[in-house]
């Protein structure tokens, strides 16, 4: 009997010791957030293994190990859950779903499904302007905070941006958390997208737009316009960023590059919500094969372009300081690290916006005809619609583009920001955001908010003309132009905004001058919104149309 009691005491004492170790390990993770396997494995494996030795003689190795490991990880997870749900947590005052408060894996799963933007919008409709969408993540739909968080100087990028980039060294420009480093590296990007540089890119845009029109005219039957917009933007990106190298408009996507681009972005986006996980995932390359192939492709193209030097003033002409504008030559690895950014920023975002523009135009014949009439006024038959001389005098063209970007921004869930470490946290209205909190100013929700835009779900380009006084309207409308942030704003806004707008205007005017589109007879236009996905940038499905010459 005494022996049995003594065995029970050993088990009890061992379980208490195991539980105590789990709490200590939790506190260590909470304080220092270690991620190196050389530290994580000893912290999580050694304690239960060592403590199980006390029970091996009485319970056997398998049972002893199972008991201590189960106890250790149960207490560890319970400690995490208790703190995240308790009033002690710094985000305890923010409302949100229980599963979001408990773990970032929930939003990572939502993101992997492609409808994160719609899900977050539904949370704002339920919980209000400030929603806790992760253990340390908040989404904001209050348009009044845009200037504080995004405008200069703005808040630094949060860890989720590094997680999405798999913490590569060095990080791409868009993910840099350090303001000084970002400003230094952005100088070359600013030169690459200056007014003078964009003017130099105009002939390349015109050449590819002409090629797009010819390709569309040659197609028979139903055409996937979204696919052809993607081919156009990818080919132009190759010209502008790398001095050439792709001919999708001529040959199609024979190598599966566009599919690789889309799959790679889908693989990366969940790590925005569990950025620590991407430290470990690199040890399992089969789980991120498409992302690895995308990065390898981008790095290879960048290395080739960097080594051969410039024949034209393309993006890498400026990034590699071939214009000698900076006193110091950039490191090769810094230039090449921006390769994926150049591919995505130069193609995916513009392609999906062009797709949306034509989807909304074809869905709204009155708007289609109105814009076509404006194009015909400034570019009648025989005039070169690829000459941008009249674009600034075409307010309805501007309105259509703005309205398409308002309804579906190219980055529907925006980027992630966090209060600077030296601030100790930031107050926004009645809310306090502690350091380490990942914050999203959610464009998709803000741009569809009735407090910012009347009839927010309606494609209504006239709203922009009414707001600017170019068109009268009997109804007093709500119109907050500062709530339109498809290119973000401030010192970290989209550096290629002016070039992207030029592409959109050139392609839209040239198409409307030369072609007529209508949806394929058997296609349900509601499918377009169903297929649009948020994988950091937007991903579109098919846009089947019938093409006719005017």
Q: State the architecture of 173-407+489-549 in CATH terms.
A: Orthogonal Bundle (1.10)
d(CA 108, CA 535) in angstroms, rounded, equals 11
- pLDDT, one tens digit per residue, over 43-95 is 999 999 999 998 988 888 999 999 999 999 999 999 999 999 999 999 999 99
Residues 6+ apart with CB under 8 A from 348: 230, 233, 261, 262, 265, 410, 537, 538, 539
pLDDT higher at 287 or 275: 275
Q: Omega into 157 within 30° of 0, i.e. cis? A: no
User: What is the predicted pLDDT for the residue at 327?
Assistant: 61
**Nearest 5°: phi and psi at 91?**
-105, 20
Percent of the chain at pLDDT exceeding 70: 97
Binding-site annotation: residue ranges:
494
Mean pLDDT of 207-227: 95
Helix axes 289-308, 225-242, angle to 10 degrees: 40
Lowest mean pLDDT among 10-24, 286-300, 391-405: 286-300
Interval 495-516: pLDDT, tens: 999 999 999 999 999 999 999 9
Quick one: which H or E segment has residue 387? none
Taking residues 320-347, report their average pLDDT.
74
Q: Which residues are annotated as a binding site for heme?
A: 494
Contact at 8 Å (CB) between 68 and 56?
no
Look at phi and psi of residue 33 and say left if phi exceeds 0, alpha if psi is from -120 to 50, else beta: left
pTM passes above 0.85: yes
**Burial class for 227, CB neighbours closer than 10 Å (0-12, 13-18, 19+):** buried
DSSP bridge pairs for 440:
139, 416
Euclidean distance between CA atoms 328 and 349, whole angstroms? 32
Q: How would residue 480 be classed by pLDDT, with cut points 50, 70 and 90? A: very high
CB 316 within 8 A of CB 337: no
For residues 330-338, give the mean pLDDT: 73
* Residue whose C-alpha is closest to residue 403's, from 433, 437, 448: 448
Is 426 in a helix, a strand, or coil?
strand
pLDDT-derived band at 329, boundaries 50, 70, 90:
low
Residue 150 burial (10 A CB sphere; 0-12, 13-18, 19+): buried
Residue 115 confidence (pLDDT): 97
Q: Report the mean per-residue pLDDT for the chain.
A: 92
Residue 256 Rama label (left phi>0; alpha psi -120 to 50; beta): left
Is the distance from CB of 280 to CB of 251 less than 8 angstroms?
no
Task: Kindly tell me the burial class for residue 497, based on how many C-beta atoms sit within 10 Å of its own C-beta (0-12, 13-18, 19 or more).
Answer: middle
Whole-number pLDDT of residue 261? 77
Q: Which helix H or strand E contains 355, and what residues bound it? A: helix 349-363
Where do the domains of the chain lie? Answer: 2-85, 173-407+489-549
């Amino acid at each position: 009997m005494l022996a049995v009691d003594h065995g029970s005491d050993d088990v009890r004492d061992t379980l208490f010791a195991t539980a105590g170790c789990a709490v200590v390990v939790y506190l260590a993770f909470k304080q220092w957030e270690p991620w190196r396997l050389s530290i994580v494995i000893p912290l999580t494996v050694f304690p239960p293994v060592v403590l199980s030795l006390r029970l091996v003689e009485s319970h056997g190795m398998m049972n002893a190990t199972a008991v201590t490991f189960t106890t250790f990880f149960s207490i560890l997870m319970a400690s995490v859950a208790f703190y995240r749900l308790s009033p002690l947590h710094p985000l305890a005052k923010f409302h949100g779903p229980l599963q979001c408060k408990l773990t970032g894996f929930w939003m990572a799963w939502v993101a992997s499904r492609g409808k994160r933007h719609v899900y977050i919008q539904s949370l704002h409709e339920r919980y209000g302007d400030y929603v806790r969408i992760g253990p340390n993540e908040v989404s904001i739909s209050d348009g009044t905070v845009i200037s504080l968080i995004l405008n200069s100087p703005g808040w630094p990028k949060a860890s989720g941006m590094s997680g999405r980039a798999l913490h590569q060294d060095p990080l791409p420009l868009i993910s840099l958390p350090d303001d000084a480093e970002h400003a230094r590296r952005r100088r070359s990007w600013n030169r690459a997208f200056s007014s003078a540089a964009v003017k130099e890119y105009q002939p390349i845009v015109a050449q590819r737009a002409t090629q797009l029109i010819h390709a569309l005219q040659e197609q028979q039957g139903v055409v996937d316009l979204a696919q052809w917009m993607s081919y156009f933007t990818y080919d132009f990106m190759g010209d502008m960023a790398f001095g050439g190298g792709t001919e999708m408009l001529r040959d199609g996507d024979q190598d599966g590059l566009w599919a690789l681009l889309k799959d790679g972005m889908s693989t990366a986006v969940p790590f925005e919500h569990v950025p620590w996980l991407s430290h470990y995932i690199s040890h399992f390359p089969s789980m991120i094969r498409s992302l690895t192939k995308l990065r390898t492709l981008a790095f290879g193209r960048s290395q080739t372009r960097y080594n051969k030097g410039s024949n034209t003033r393309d993006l890498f002409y400026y990034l590699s300081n071939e214009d000698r504008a900076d006193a110091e030559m950039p490191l090769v690895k810094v230039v090449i690290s921006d390769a994926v950014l150049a591919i995505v920023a130069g193609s995916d975002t513009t392609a999906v916006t062009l797709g949306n523009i034509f989807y909304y135009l074809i869905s709204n014949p009155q708007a289609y005809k109105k814009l076509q009439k404006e194009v015909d006024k400034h570019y009648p038959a025989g005039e070169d619609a690829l000459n941008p001389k009249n674009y600034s005098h075409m307010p309805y063209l501007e309105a259509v583009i703005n309205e398409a970007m308002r309804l579906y921004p190219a980055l529907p869930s925006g980027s992630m920001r966090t209060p600077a470490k030296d601030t100790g946290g930031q107050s926004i209205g009645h809310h306090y955001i502690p350091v380490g909190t990942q914050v999203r100013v959610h464009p998709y929700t803000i741009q569809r908010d009735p407090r910012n835009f009347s009839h927010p779900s309606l494609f209504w380009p006239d709203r922009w003309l009414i707001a600017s006084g170019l068109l009268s309207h009997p109804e007093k409308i709500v119109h907050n132009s500062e709530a339109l942030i498809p290119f973000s704003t401030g010192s970290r806004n989209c550096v290629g905004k002016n070039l992207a707008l030029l592409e959109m205007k050139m392609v839209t005017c040239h198409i409307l001058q030369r072609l007529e589109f209508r949806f394929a007879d058997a296609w349900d236009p509601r499918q377009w919104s169903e297929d649009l996905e948020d994988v950091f940038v937007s991903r579109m499905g098919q846009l089947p149309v019938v093409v006719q010459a005017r």
